[in-house]
């Protein structure tokens, strides 16, 4: 069972190339500040614009610097099942603890197609698989009945829920039981998701304040619900600022302001607007993260 604060890692670039030193420094900082797990090569890591060679390299860099200290849940999704299998097999061979596999986007598969996609990946590897359900980006939604079928497969262990439906974790827990891991994909509602039956969060904000995000989940795990909500209240403006434009634009700009890496992204992602920059600066300043 995965619990607590996982971070959806950004991928730093310099002059169009992966900045390997900055990336590994970011990962090491996460481990040292108490993050419960790291997720390279997800949406926040700009996986759609990474070549397969780059995708695999980022996964390897992450596993290398983590060195077994915390779990590595490697992004391995694609709208092509064969490509997802290739990335998942590589993640397993490189030493990842599990893989995060997004629902196929653009193709619009049926529920039968979604089941067949995940089953093919399940049959190809021997490490846990987290289903990434994000209909806002993938268009398709993985229904509860489909998740129930998938959970009968040996390697399907949970879901990253980015639906925004805060009643959904209750239904999933009722139908699949508490052994099915539910990780929120939304920072701003992470505590509410926990209250509804969730186990943790794959966070964008944790790129910036890993210790605070981890402390929120530690408080919840100890039954300190007031303390967990206090941290949620403290971070809410920062959570919202991270999505004032499409991620990872705001979080990369924030990381640059904090001196963690530069804000460079790959097309079609472009520099965020001046209005969005002001929103991000204000949120960082109010938390004392910049002067």
Instruction: State in Å, rounded, how far the first CA of the chain is from the last one.
Output: 39
What 3-state DSSP class applies to 140? coil
Residue pair 34/4 in contact by the 8 Å Cβ criterion: no
* CA pair distance 211, 203, nearest whole angstrom: 12
User: Could you list the active site residues?
Assistant: 132, 160
16 three-class SS: coil
Q: Are 265 and 248 in contact (CB under 8 A)?
A: yes
**If you ran DSSP here, which 8-state letter would residue 103 be given?**
P
Among candidate residues 71, 101, 103, the one with its CA nearest the CA of residue 89: 101
In sequence order, what are the residues at sequence separation of 6 or more whose Cβ sits closer than 8 angstroms to the Cβ of residue 137? 43, 102, 105, 162
Cα–Cα dist 22/35, whole Å: 18
Question: Which tokens sit at 225?
Answer: 């619900």
Cβ–Cβ under 8 Å, residues 38 and 9:
yes
Distance CA 126, CA 203 (A): 26
- What is the C-alpha to C-alpha distance for residues 199 and 197, in angstroms, rounded to an integer? 7
Question: For residue 207, which phi and psi values (nearest 5 degrees)?
Answer: -60, -30
156/36 Cα distance (integer angstroms): 20
The CA–CA distances, whole Å, from 133 to 7, 144, 188 equal 17, 11, 17
């Amino acid at each position: 069972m995965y619990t607590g604060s996982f971070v959806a890692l950004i991928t730093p670039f310099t002059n169009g190339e992966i900045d390997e030193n900055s990336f590994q420094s970011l990962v090491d900082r996460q481990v040292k500040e108490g993050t419960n797990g790291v997720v390279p090569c997800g949406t926040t890591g700009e996986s759609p614009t990474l070549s397969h060679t780059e995708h695999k390299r980022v996964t390897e860099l992450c596993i290398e610097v983590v060195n077994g200290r915390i779990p590595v849940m490697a992004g391995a999704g694609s709208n092509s099942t064969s490509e997802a299998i290739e990335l998942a097999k590589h993640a397993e061979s490189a030493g990842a603890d599990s893989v995060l596999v997004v629902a196929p986007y653009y193709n619009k598969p049926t529920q039968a197609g979604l089941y067949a996609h995940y089953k093919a990946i399940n049959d190809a590897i021997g490490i846990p698989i987290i289903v990434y359900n994000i209909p806002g980006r993938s268009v398709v939604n993985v229904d509860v009945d489909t998740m129930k079928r998938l959970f009968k497969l040996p390697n399907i262990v949970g879901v990253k829920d980015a639906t925004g439906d805060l009643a959904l974790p209750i239904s999933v827990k009722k139908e699949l039981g508490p052994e099915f891991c539910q990780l929120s994909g939304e920072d701003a509602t992470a505590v509410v998701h926990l209250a509804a039956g969730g186990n943790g969060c794959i966070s964008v904000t944790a790129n910036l304040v890993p210790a605070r995000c981890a402390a929120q989940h530690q408080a919840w795990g100890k039954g300190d619900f007031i303390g967990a909500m206090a941290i949620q209240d403290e971070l809410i403006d920062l959570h919202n600022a991270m999505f004032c434009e499409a991620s990872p634009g705001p979080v990369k700009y924030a990381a640059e302001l904090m001196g963690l890496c530069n804000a460079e992204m790959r097309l079609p992602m472009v520099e965020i607007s001046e209005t969005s920059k002001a929103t991000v600066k204000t949120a960082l300043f109010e938390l004392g993260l910049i002067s």
